[in-house]
Amino acid sequence: MSKEGASTARWALSMAVDTVKIRNKPIMEYYNHQKERTGSGKLAHVLTMRKLIRMIYFMLSTRKPWKYENIALTERKVSDLEDD
């Protein structure tokens, strides 16, 4: 990722990648594939950050949900927010 942008945004994206790659099998597989291909965990992390950015951009520009969404979990979380 470019060092020209906000460091807080890079940090938040890095934390998001750490969380997503633990909880989401396709993203974890992508990270592991990139790590094997490049031989570098740091580069694999950056490539996974870029992939996540592309996915977020696609979701925002097309107004489509995340393709790995767990619909039941999303509905439960929305329901919990509405109950408060």
Q: What is the pLDDT of residues 53-75, one digit of tens each?
A: 999 999 999 999 888 888 898 89
* Residue 67 in domain: yes
* Residue 44 in domain: yes
* Residue 68 in domain: yes
DSSP 6-69: -HHHHHHHHHHHHHHHHH-HHHHHHHHHHHHHHS-HHHHHHHHHHHHHHHHHHHHHHT---TT-
* Residue 2 in domain: no
pLDDT at 1 over 70: no
Is 55 within 8 Å of 66 (Cβ atoms)?
Answer: yes
* Residue 78 in domain: yes
Domain that holds residue 63: 7-83
d(CA 33, CA 30): 5
* Domain total in the chain: 1
The whole-model pTM stands at: 0.77
- Helix pair 25-38, 41-62: axis angle to 10 deg: 140
* Residue 71 in domain: yes
Highest mean pLDDT among 5-19, 41-55, 58-72: 41-55
